[in-house]
Structures are given as structure tokens and as C-alpha cells.
Amino acid sequence: MLISSCETGDGPLDATAGEPGIREIQVDPASVIFEPEDGIRDTVVTFRISAEADLPDGHILVAHLVDLQDFRILDTDTLRSYVIGRSFTPNPSYTSDDFTSGDFTSDGFSSDGLTSGDFPSDGFSPGGFTSDRVSSSGLAYIGTLQTMLRTTDMRNLIIYVTPVSPDRRAGNRSETVIPVRGTPSGEPLVLSVDHPDTIFLPPAGMSTTFYIAAKASHTISTDFLDQVLLELFDINSVSIYGPLPMSEEDQAYGNVPGDSIYVQGFRLESSSNPGSFTAEVHAKDVAGNVSDTLRSHFVIAPCDPIL
């Protein structure tokens, strides 16, 4: 996984004179790029924020991490202000109850106001930020935001940093876009479906078992296969089974994990219904990709008179 150096952004261009102003924001990392060796998995990514701002007494800075696709809020933090050598809380009377829940829209805050978030009671160490990050007033603001990312994600995140007054009014916010570029996840494949063309029902009082087997693969690695699913339909295209996962290991059939053969056995009694049936098989990988569906037809016939 490649994590780029920090992103520096200016404060809002439309800041109104006399209002709280954010002079500069730094976000580290500024982008997240996953590599093939990262595999396909979930991982937590932490973004560190440092800011310079001119805030009147009692104001705080609130940071939100938002998914740009649906403007869903992923994490929230109240940035800590500090003077070199010590931790400082600008208004310790704030609690998480001071902010009601709400979602961002493309235009900013909803009418519900700010989202709820945990306000740490202990001091936040400014380790990693040097003294040149301190504003002219002697204060700087730092915090962290976290989210779970999939190594195949291809999307953009955005970090909003907003001054908030003691009466919960939001000032002009700063925005930083964080590109997330996942590794190619490949595609699952169903190569073949195997079963008898005709299965005869057993004589009265007896039973028989037949198997449907599927050979699956993946364009990157079969280790990325998650499930191979089977669904059965009758002659009227009504689903009578599944879709359910096929088995990677069946002692009676002889397949074993790692051979990419998936099976499902069906027990037939003499009283089972004959007819024409369709089997549909598709595969899913651990990234959530779905293969094309492979279809095959078979017949369950009445008991063979020779038997």
C-alpha cells in the first residue's frame, strides 16, 4: 500500500472578513494507493490532520471524513489546539451531546446540524508535527480520522474542517479530497458444469445420489474465490433450489479444497418427481465480483424398466 505525503490546502476562498478563518490544512496521507501485494482485504487507514486557524475564544474546529459518492460520514473528530510543549483545550465545556446527528449533502451541512462525535477528555500529543506548524497566535490544531477501506476500493473521500462557535454555528469550512485507488481485483470464472444428462429414479424403496460439479477459476488467483453458487429451476423456470454455496470438499465425490472443483449432491427417492431441470452456476470472489452464469440442463426420468 502506498500512502502519499501530506496534502496542504488553503482555507476557504470565500471566507468573510471578521469570521473565524482557517489559514492552512495539512492531511497525511493525501492519497491511498493499494498495490497487488496487499491482496484483497479490509484495512484501517488513519488520516492525521494539522491546521492553522484564527479562532475567537470558545470556537473549536470539527473535522469530518466523508465518502464523496454518497456523502456518508465515516468519522468525526474535534481537533485539539495546543501550544508548544503542552496540550490545550479551547473550550472543555463541549461534549458530544452538543452536536446532533445529521448527514452531509453536496451543499454542506443538513438542517440537522453537525454530526455527533466523541470529544477526547485527555490531552492530544502533537508528536510528529514540528514547531513550524504553530500559527502566529501560538496555537495549532491537530486530530485524526479513521475509516475501513477495502484494498480494491476505487473512490474519493473528502475531509471537511469547520470552525464551530459556542452557539453551534458552523463557519466557512476547508475541504481536502483524498483519492483512494485500489488494486485490480480480477474476475471469478465458472469454466464448466458437469452432471449426468439423465438420472433415473430408483426402484421402490431405494434411493440414489447424483452430483452437480462446477470447475471455477480466477483471473488473478484461485485463492481469491469466495463461493460458487448453484440454483436449480424446473421446466417452468421456477426456482426449486438455491442459490446456495456448493461444497469445496465432498468425500463421496472426491474433491478437496484447492482443486477449484465445487460439488453439490442430491438424493433421489423412488417417489421423487421426474422432469426437465436447469442448473445455473456462478462464482463470487472475496472482492464481491460476480462471474457470468453458466447454465446446463438435465432430466430426471422415471425408474429404468430394465432395473
pLDDT band at 107 (very low <50, low <70, confident <90, very high): very low
The values of phi and psi at residue 224, to 5°, are -85, -5
End residue of a domain, out of 160, 181, 202:
181
If asked whether residues 193 and 277 sit together in one domain, one would say: yes
213, 167: one domain: no
- Cell matching residue 286: 472475496
Cross-strand partners of 194: 213
In the predicted model, is pLDDT for residue 119 greater than 60?
no
Higher pLDDT, 21 or 273: 273
pLDDT bucket at 224, cuts 50 / 70 / 90: confident
Residue type, 62: V
Same domain, yes or no: 127 and 208: no
The CA-based diameter of the chain, rounded to the nearest angstrom, is: 98
In a domain, 72, yes or no: yes
Q: Cα–Cα distance between 212 and 280 in angstroms, integer?
A: 10
- The arrangement of strands across the sheet holding 21-28 comes to 7-10, 21-28, 42-54, 140-150, 80-83, 86-88
Which residue do the cell numbers 426402484 mark? 203
Could you tell me if 21 and 153 lie in one domain?
yes
Tens-place pLDDT, residues 284-294: 998 889 999 99
134 and 271 share one domain:
no
230-263, pLDDT tens digit by residue? 999 999 999 999 999 999 998 889 898 889 999 9
Q: Is residue 197 part of a domain?
A: yes
What is the band of 16 on the pLDDT scale with cuts at 50, 70, 90? very low
Is residue 198 within 8 Å of 289, Cβ to Cβ? no
Q: Which domain holds residue 253?
A: 188-301
Lowest mean pLDDT among 55-64, 95-104, 275-284: 95-104
Q: What is the CATH number of the domain that holds 227?
A: 2.60.40.2550
Same domain as 258, residue 109: no
- Please indicate, yes or no, whether residues 136 and 32 belong to a single structural domain of this protein: yes
DSSP of 34-69: --GGG-S-EEEEEEEEEEEEE--TT-EEEEEEEETT
Smallest CA-to-CA distance from 157 within 261, 63, 291 is with 63
Domain-embedded: residue 211: yes
- Position 306 in a domain: no
Do 167 and 194 fall into the same domain?
Answer: no
Residue 28 lies in a domain: yes
**Whole-structure pTM value:** 0.55
Last residue of a domain, one of 161, 181, 201: 181
Q: Highest mean pLDDT range out of 34-43, 149-158, 176-185, 228-237?
A: 228-237
Q: Are 14 and 24 in contact (CB under 8 A)?
A: no
Q: Are residues 30 and 176 in the same domain?
A: yes
* 13 pLDDT higher than 80: no
Distances (CA, A) of 73 to 11, 58, 65, 112, 114: 21, 25, 6, 14, 11
DSSP, res 121: S
What is d(CA 144, CA 182) in angstroms, rounded to the nearest whole number?
22
Q: Which of 181, 211, 240 is the last residue of a domain?
A: 181
Q: Which of 77, 24, 28 lies closest to 52 in space, CA to CA?
A: 24
What is the model's pLDDT at position 111? Answer: 30
152 and 7 co-located in one domain: yes
Q: From the centroid of its chain, how far is CA 220? A: 20
Closest CA to 228 of 193, 195, 254: 193
Query: Residue for cell digits 471578521?
Result: 18
pLDDT at position 77: 96
Could you give the number of structural domains in the chain? 2
User: How many Å apart are CA 202 and CA 43, to the nearest integer?
Assistant: 53
pLDDT surpassing 60 at residue 12? no
Q: Is residue 307 part of a domain?
A: no
